[in-house]
Amino acid sequence: MHEYRMPPPWLGSTHELIIGPDGNLWVSQQLEDRVLRVSTTGRVVGTIDFPDNSGPHGIDKDWRGHVWLTEEFANALVELDATGKRIASYPLPLPGAGPHGLRIGCDGHTVWWTGKDNGTVGSFDPRTHAWTVHSLAPDSQPIYLARGPRCAMFFTELTGNRIGRVDTNGFLREYAIPTPDSRPIAVAAGRSGHVWFTEEAGAAYAELDLVTGRITEHRTDVPDAKLAGLAFDCFGNLWVQYNQPGLIDRVRPDLTVSRYTLPTAAPVGHRRSERCPWPCRGLPGGSP
């Protein structure tokens, strides 16, 4: 039975988040097997429980307001209605994929996912129940997804050290990152039609020029920094989270930086919300 219950004072892990269909933040808590719902004022308004050891992680919502998640440990996709009630679970057609990241395509229907454990990226059409799978190097560990220009889907390969792209015709292309073992984390479509991403070990945020295929890396000046999430706001500013230390950078279009220190000790800023609520027609990462 679906139920809400208030979480204990220690909230536990937080992984990915979106602005939910009810206007609250929906945050996946993989280690607690639940989704946390938090108001924009920071008040916890409820939780959505998942089966034990299912590992909910990637999260996004479709054009109807249904919320989709990956169950990384159960190797499945899950569809919830706007209240959090489970509609259906869809086991992946290949064992051991470990679906990690999730993003709805710019058609508002198609569910894209990354198979972190077996080096795959795929899509699922809930209207036809058709699956599409793209195989990468087995040790590439694709993790994060973003909608990009011309409705292509982009993803990061954590240990493969590449940025991947799948276009609307199903053509796969990968771009090697200049810094070895940079561990790319988050990716987002941004200004000038470029795709931006963070490098956890490379201590940089970088931009991919889709015309030339060139990657330009922008190093942070913070010692021992580890970068994680990033997102663009509706004014074209790039916001970058740090896993270490507790910082957030705002990078303006002219690349000048304002830095904000988080009040929590060792917060490990991990992921970010979408810049604008669905849909983002006419904006980078949305429909053309």
Structure tokens at 107: 């058609």
Question: By the 8 A CB rule, do 284 and 189 touch?
Answer: yes
Q: Kindly give the pairing relationship between strand 204-208 and strand 247-251.
A: unpaired
Question: By the 8 A CB rule, do 38 and 49 touch?
Answer: no
Sign of the C-alpha dihedral, residues 250, 102, 67, 269?
negative
SS3 letters across 10-37: CCCCCCCEEECCCCCEEEEEHHHCEEEE
CA atoms within 13 A on the CB side of 288: 7
Q: What is the predicted pLDDT for the residue at 282?
A: 38
Query: What residue type is assigned to position 65 of the chain?
Result: G
* Domains defined along the chain, listed by start: 1-98 (2.120.10.30), 136-275 (2.130.10.10)
Sign of the C-alpha dihedral, residues 285, 186, 130, 152?
positive
Q: What is the predicted pLDDT for the residue at 265?
A: 61
Q: What is the predicted pLDDT for the residue at 135?
A: 96
Q: What is the predicted pLDDT for the residue at 280?
A: 40
The DSSP line for 181-222 is: T--EEEEEE-GGG-EEEEETTTTEEEEE-TTT--EEEEE--S
Task: Specify the pTM.
Answer: 0.89
Q: What is the predicted pLDDT for the residue at 140?
A: 97
Q: What is the predicted pLDDT for the residue at 267?
A: 61
Does the N-terminal peptide bond of residue 126 adopt cis geometry, omega within 30 degrees of 0? Answer: no
Mean pLDDT by runs of 10 across the 288 residues of the chain is: 42 84 94 93 92 96 97 98 97 96 96 97 97 95 96 97 97 98 95 91 96 96 94 93 93 95 68 44 36
